[in-house]
Amino acid sequence: MESEKFHKIADALSAKNKKVEEGKMFGKECIKVNGKAFAAFPQKKWFLN
């Protein structure tokens, strides 16, 4: 369920800004801006940089 929210947020951000994309950081899902991690979903908790 939380993972679905993560993907919805990532999709909404990337639809508004082409520099935003989903990716991986240390094997975990993350949202990147200009290729750098901005937010990650490592387990069941959010991490914002």
Do 31 and 43 form a contact (C-beta atoms < 8 A)? no
The predicted structure's pLDDT at residue 22: 94
- Summarised one tens digit per residue, pLDDT across range 19-36 is 999 999 888 889 999 999
> Domains in the chain: how many in total?
1
Q: Which residue has the tokens 């200009």?
A: 34
DSSP per residue, 1-49? -HHHHHHHHHHHHHHH-TTEEEEEETTEEEEEETTEEEEEESSSS-EE-
The predicted structure's pLDDT at residue 4: 86
d(CA 23, CA 19): 12
Give the domain extent around 11.
2-48
Do 31 and 10 form a contact (C-beta atoms < 8 A)? yes
The overall average pLDDT reported for the chain is 85
The predicted structure's pLDDT at residue 28: 85
What is the rounded average pLDDT of the residues 25-48? 82
